[in-house]
Amino acid sequence: KELAGCGQVELTAVAVSGGYRISGSIRWASNLYHDSLLVTAAAADDGAKVIVALPLSSPGVTVGDHFKLLAMDSTASSYLSLQDVFVPDEQVLSTDFEAFLGAVRPTFLVL
């Protein structure tokens, strides 16, 4: 939404030694299985936006109960809450928000 100009990144990232601490909520996401990997953007305290990857099993990640969606029950959709989740530098996929999204957009659209 932010790249399109109709929203903003809702997660915040505070730089700490060796990575970032991520906090905030994601109101809707799918494929939230216990062994899933979350790839998301977060707005850093210096104004940059970082793309990070973290397991849903990370300390500080809360996954809500899956929504009951009639025929879509198998989507494992719900909300996420992140509270001071440590993401090490090795799990930062990009610090160039626009370039990263530009590179992955064609594949995401096909999927």
Is the model's pLDDT at 43 over the cut of 90? yes
Structure tokens at 43: 């707005």
As separate numbers, helices (DSSP H) first and strands (DSSP E) second, the chain gives 1, 7
Residue 72 has what pLDDT? 67
Residue-wise pLDDT for 9-29, tens only, equals: 899 999 999 999 999 999 888
For a pLDDT cut of 70, what percent of the chain falls above it?
Answer: 97
